[in-house]
Amino acid sequence: MLNQTLTAVPRDCEDCPIRHRAVCARCEADELEQLDKIKYYRSFEAGQTIIWSGDQMDFVGSVVKGIATLTQTMEDGRTQMVGLLLPSDFVGRPGRGSAAYNVVATTDMVMCCFRKKPFEVMMSQTPHIAQRLLEMTLDELDAAREWMLVLGRKTAREKIASLLSIIARRNATLNLADVTGSMVFDLPLTREAMADYLGLTLETVSRQISSLKKDGIIQLEGKRHVTVPDFDRLLAEAGDDSDGGMLA
């Protein structure tokens, strides 16, 4: 865990940048006060393991800043990336004693954590939390099914466009912006991480990003700052229809 202070992260739930999408999104003032008594913040450096698969978890929580990967290690030692955790995503499962996946910080991260046992008690007594967690779980299930399509049936170009559209949509949603027209965001993953996640080579990722740039689908400033002039065109390249096709 990092030693630096978390001055950049609002301690007041009302000022939290993920408040409108987090597990506490529907909580009333008295419920937020109860959550505040069991919450704490943790910071992680890029590359640091947050939790290992099979470890006992004494906390659950939401990603406030940064991005993490969910990975699973196979019997022969190979590691497969199976998901991304973006800001507002929930880590851990109430009622489950151990972690199902390795969770590794891809960038520097901040998490808003809750002590697991008190959170489980509060969840059983607070419909707002239970309902929101159910919604998030169903969204996660839909996203997992969609990702099976991305990995199994799409071309390399469609995979890259799909990943860019997911990140663009989430960034817009977090910033309460329209998910239409021109969109601007910073890519939180290196090209190496994108290749690992999509099951592609680094050369293929770089080639497809260059192709999308050449065709005017995206604009790049450096390697990370992305402008999408027309989000519908990006969705078309991803093989998705204009109403989204993918969850934010």
Candidates 176, 14, 174, 16; CA nearest to 6 is: 16
Residues 15-43, mean pLDDT to the nearest whole number = 87
The fold for domain 154-238 equals Arc Repressor Mutant, subunit A (1.10.10)
Q: What is the pTM of this model?
A: 0.76
Q: Is the per-residue pLDDT at 4 higher than 50?
A: no
What Rg value do the Cα atoms of the chain yield, rounded?
18
Q: Is the per-residue pLDDT at 209 higher than 70?
A: yes
Q: How far apart are CA 248 and CA 234, in angstroms?
A: 15
* Model pLDDT for residues 96-141, shown as the tens digit of each residue: 888 888 999 988 999 999 999 999 998 888 888 888 888 888 877 7
Domain coordinates of the chain in residue numbers? 13-136, 154-238
Cβ–Cβ under 8 Å, residues 45 and 108: yes
For the chain, percent of residues with pLDDT exceeding 90? 35
Q: What's the pLDDT score for residue 145?
A: 74
DSSP bridge partners of 63? 111
Q: Is the per-residue pLDDT at 64 higher than 80?
A: yes
Residues 150-172, mean pLDDT to the nearest whole number = 86
Q: Name the residue with higher pLDDT: 125 or 144.
A: 125
DSSP letter assigned to residue 201: -
Q: What's the pLDDT score for residue 130?
A: 87
Within 8 A by CB and 6+ apart from 182, the residues are 227, 228, 229, 230, 231
Q: How far apart are CA 169 and CA 177, in angstroms?
A: 9
Q: How far apart are CA 112 and CA 90, in angstroms?
A: 10
Q: Which CATH superfamily is domain 13-136 in?
A: Jelly Rolls (2.60.120.10)
CA distances from 81 to 21, 105, 140, 169, 197 (A): 24, 12, 15, 21, 5
